[in-house]
Chain A
């Protein structure tokens, strides 16, 4: 149990375009999901906390207008990188909070490359 999926696993886009990443909890409901960013050989950096039915809470330094988060259902959160630029290239990972164990389960990640 406690499986989290992400789609797509890899995306390459041109500078200036927008990219949407989906995060789904497959076998449990998650009122809270998290979005992280990870640079090579570094740990995870929390970008925002996504709560079902309400606005996301962004960490300091993360532009909410650039990284749009929508948590429309108990099993789906989306992250849209708007007007992507090469510096947005990174590994984006989501996690979902399993209420039964109060534990975060992570998705497999999405590698974004902006040309």
Chain B
């Protein structure tokens, strides 16, 4: 079993839709949770960074962490064609530098 599971998609939604992206994990020691956005042939860009359980909102993006269920989500409101990219979840333990990545979900927002 992989430490981090993420549905690779692809996921296609119409412009303006709410997008829900999710990851599950098996290691209860993970405390830091991140979402990265990666456009084709570019490096990943940090979108959201959360510590432990709870919600964090930044503009159209909301990150949720449920440590009891080992489940994290990224919501994108009012999705735009420019949101079309691959979204990678990543997580790590306290005191460790190594990130554990999901496989990435490829999102297409259709105008």
Contact = CB atoms under 8 A, between A and B. Distances in A.
9 contacts: A2-B46, A32-B97, A41-B8, A43-B101, A44-B44, A49-B98, A95-B43, A104-B97, A106-B45
Which of B32, B42, B103 gathers the greatest number of chain A CB atoms within 10 Å? B42
B41 interface: yes
A106 B101 CA distance: 13
Sort chain A's interface into a size bin: 20 to 34
Interface residues of B, number: 20
Interface of A: 2, 4, 6, 32, 34, 41-44, 46, 49, 91, 93, 95, 97, 101-109, 111
Contacts, number: 46
Contact of B43 (A41, A42, A107): A107
- If over half of B's interface residues share one DSSP class (helix, strand or loop), that class is named, otherwise mixed; here it is loop
B67 to A, nearest CB: 18
Interface of B: 8, 32, 34, 36, 41-46, 49, 88, 97-99, 101-104, 106
